[in-house]
Amino acid sequence: MHHQNYAKHLIALIEKVATSQNAAILKGAEAMADAIANNRAVFAFGASHAGMLSMELFYRTGGLVVVNPIFARDLMPDIRPATLTSDVERLADYGKLICRQSPLQAGDVVIVHSVSGRNTVPIDLALEAKKMGVTVIVITNLAYTERVTSRHASGKKLKDCGDVVIDNCGEFEDSSITLPGFAQKMGPTSTVTGAYIVNAMALECAAILHERGIEVPIFHSANIDGGDEHNHAMLEKYKDRIHYMK
């Protein structure tokens, strides 16, 4: 069955990421741990579907309390017409504006996700964040981005803008399964491998903080007894580094 082939492919890709990107994942986790240890915060950004990793990370069971999403209304998939997101992602300097109007500060970490790594907004945001003294962790598809040209005026791609660069190990165009009689592949992989990458970094970040003797701010499920009380205490204790409550 086609879906079983897809499942096998996803499992193989996650194993490939876990092995080939281990050093980069650990480097990203250490940057996150350094920021949290220094009373700074972690942020995440992606345009359109790439932004799902931002949603994956923040305010969730088992997640780090001080991870903040950066959302831009014109780059969210629920905007209408939905095709507008593709145009907006190519706008020059919009990424700089998003960065400047966000709560990002020197010493923070921002995770920037773009599968193709060619569009202007995530590149501008990453470059502007670095100017501000923010550590930039890039998640992209190296096989994809190497086969396309940059849309940024500098000619740079997102892979050129990170202090840490993590390859999601996907294929060109992201989709992975060819059905008989179809020219276009289906079965995208970036959301699954991307979710693995960001949660792997969060796990390793927590382990690093624990080894340093630093409290790890983690959410419990709100659907267990005592969960609400724990989470409310976390939100109050770390409110200076939590920007999604304002």
The encoded tokens of residue 147 equal 């086969």
pLDDT digits (tens, 9 = 90+) for 160-199: 999 999 999 999 999 999 999 998 999 999 999 999 999 9
pLDDT digits (tens, 9 = 90+) for 32-90: 999 999 999 999 999 998 999 999 999 999 999 999 999 998 888 888 898 888 988 99
d(CA 199, CA 69): 14
Place of tokens 């205490």: 233
Strand order across the beta sheet in which 67-69 lies: 67-69, 42-46, 109-113, 135-140, 164-167
pLDDT number for residue 26:
98
Give, in order, the Cα–Cα distances in Å from 67 to each of 40, 78, 150, 202: 10, 22, 29, 9
Three-state DSSP class for residue 81:
coil
pLDDT digits (tens, 9 = 90+) for 15-25: 999 999 999 99
Residue 170 domain flag: yes
Range of the domain at 78: 2-241
Residue 246 domain flag: no
pLDDT number for residue 83:
85
Helix (H) or strand (E) holding 191: helix 190-211
d(CA 8, CA 232): 40
d(CA 228, CA 126): 35
pLDDT number for residue 87:
86
Residue 22 domain flag: yes
The encoded tokens of residue 172 equal 């060109």
pLDDT digits (tens, 9 = 90+) for 76-129: 888 889 888 898 899 999 999 999 999 999 999 999 999 999 999 999 999 999
pLDDT number for residue 73:
84
Q: Is residue 147 scored above 90 in pLDDT?
A: yes
* CATH number of the structural domain spanning residue 52: 3.40.50.10490
Three-state DSSP class for residue 165:
strand
pLDDT number for residue 79:
80
pLDDT > 70: what percent of the chain? 100
Residue 35 domain flag: yes
Domain count, the chain: 1
Residue 213 domain flag: yes
Cα angle: 164, vertex 167, 169; to 5 degrees: 170
